[in-house]
Structure 1
Amino acid sequence: MIRPGLLVDVDSVPGDAVLLDTRLTTSGAPGRERYDAGHLPGATYVDLDDDLADPPGADGRHPLPTPERFVAAMQRAGVCQDSTVVVYDDGPATAAARLWWLLRDYGHDDVLVLDGGLRAWSDAGRPVSTTPTASGPGDWTGRPGQLPTVGADGAAGLARDGGLIDVRAAVRFRGEQEPLDPVAGHIPGAVNAPLTDLTDELGRFLPSSALAAHFEALSVSGSARVAAYCGSGVTACQTLLALRLAGLEDGALYPGSWSGWITDPSRPVALGG
Structure 2
Amino acid sequence: MTAKSAILSAAELQRELTGPRPPVLLDVRWQLGGPDQRPAYEAGHLPGAVYIDLDRELAGPPGPGGRHPLPDPEAFGAVMRRTGVRADVPVVVYDGGQGWAAARAWWMLRWTGHPDVRVLDGGLTAWTADGGEVTADEATPVEGDFKPNPGAVGLLDADGAAARARAGLLLDARAGERYRGEVEPIDPVGGHIPGAVSAPTAENVGPDGRFLPAGALRARFEALGATEGTPVGVYCGSGVSGAHEVLALAVAGIESDLYAGSWSQWSHDPARPVATGPDPQ
TM class by shorter chain equals: over 0.9
Question: Which one of 241, 264, 271 corresponds to residue 269 of structure 2?
Answer: 264
Task: Kindly provide the amino acid, as one letter, of the partner of residue 196 in structure 2.
Answer: A
User: What SS does structure 1 have at the residue aligned with 2:269?
Assistant: coil
Aligned partners of 1:238, 1:9: CA distance in 2, in Å? 16
1:21 is aligned to 2:27: yes
CA RMSD of aligned residues (A): 1.5
Contact 1:92 1:199 in 2 (8 A): no
Q: Could you say which residue in structure 2 is the equivalent of 1:5? A: 5
Task: Kindly provide the amino acid, as one letter, of the partner of residue 6 in structure 2.
Answer: L
Q: Could you say which residue in structure 2 is the equivalent of 1:129? A: 135
Q: Over residues 81-124 of structure 1, what are the superposed CA-to-partner deviations in whole Å (9 max), with x where a residue is unaligned?
A: 21111000111321111111111112112111101100001111
Aligned partners of 1:93, 1:123: CA distance in 2, in Å? 16
Q: Could you say which residue in structure 2 is the equivalent of 1:193? A: 199
User: What SS does structure 2 have at the residue aligned with 1:50?
Assistant: helix
Q: Could you say which residue in structure 1 is the equivalent of 2:74? A: 68
Task: Kindly provide the amino acid, as one letter, of the partner of residue 6 in structure 1.
Answer: A
Q: Over residues 180-206 of structure 1, what are the superposed CA-to-partner deviations in whole Å (9 max), with x where a residue is unaligned?
A: 212221111111100011011111111
Structure 1 runs of 4+ aligned residues shifted over 6 Å read: none
Structure 2 alignment gaps of length 5 or more: none
In the TM superposition, residue 68 of structure 1 has moved relative to its aligned partner by 1.3
Q: Could you say which residue in structure 2 is the equivalent of 1:41? A: 47
The percentage of counterpart residues that share the same residue type is: 51
From the two aligned structures, give the one with the greater helix fraction.
2
Task: Kindly provide the amino acid, as one letter, of the partner of residue 94 in structure 1.
Answer: W
User: What SS does structure 1 have at the residue aligned with 2:10?
Assistant: coil
In the TM superposition, residue 162 of structure 1 has moved relative to its aligned partner by 5.6
Q: Could you say which residue in structure 1 is the equivalent of 2:186? A: 180
Aligned partners of 1:38, 1:272: CA distance in 2, in Å? 44
Contact 1:162 1:190 in 2 (8 A): no
Task: Kindly provide the amino acid, as one letter, of the partner of residue 268 in structure 2.
Answer: T
In the TM superposition, residue 243 of structure 1 has moved relative to its aligned partner by 1.1
User: What SS does structure 1 have at the residue aligned with 2:119?
Assistant: strand
Contact 1:162 1:189 in 2 (8 A): no
User: What SS does structure 1 have at the residue aligned with 2:12?
Assistant: coil
User: What SS does structure 2 have at the residue aligned with 1:5?
Assistant: helix
Structure 1 alignment gaps of length 5 or more: none
Q: Could you say which residue in structure 1 is the equivalent of 2:152? A: 146
In the TM superposition, residue 27 of structure 1 has moved relative to its aligned partner by 4.4
Q: How many pairs are equivalent?
A: 271
Task: Kindly provide the amino acid, as one letter, of the partner of residue 256 in structure 2.
Answer: G
Aligned partners of 1:223, 1:49: CA distance in 2, in Å? 35
Deviates more, 1:130-139 or 1:94-103: 130-139
Q: Over residues 65-90 of structure 1, what are the superposed CA-to-partner deviations in whole Å (9 max), with x where a residue is unaligned?
A: 11111100101101112111100011
Deviates more, 1:133-142 or 1:202-211: 133-142
Q: Over residues 205-243 of structure 1, what are the superposed CA-to-partner deviations in whole Å (9 max), with x where a residue is unaligned?
A: 110110011001101123111100000011111111111
